[in-house]
Amino acid sequence: MLHSLDYSDSANIRSQFFRARLVDGVMECRDVEVFT
């Protein structure tokens, strides 16, 4: 799932993602690792 966009280098805007998981229809966002 898209977390945010990194604009620190305007010539190379990078997307950051995290692994979303639903358990009984609830998405838990604590302790997630962000991937670039």
pLDDT tens readout for residues 6-36? 999 999 999 988 777 788 998 877 776 766 5
Which residues make Cβ contacts (< 8 Å) with residue 28, sequence separation at least 6? 21
Domains: count for the chain: 1
Give the pLDDT score at 34: 65
Domain of 9?
2-35
Q: Does the predicted TM-score (pTM) go above 0.85?
A: no
DSSP 3-30: EEEE-SSTTS-EEEEE---EETTEE--T
Strand partners, 16: 4
Q: Are strands 14-18 and 34-35 parallel, antiparallel or unpaired?
A: antiparallel
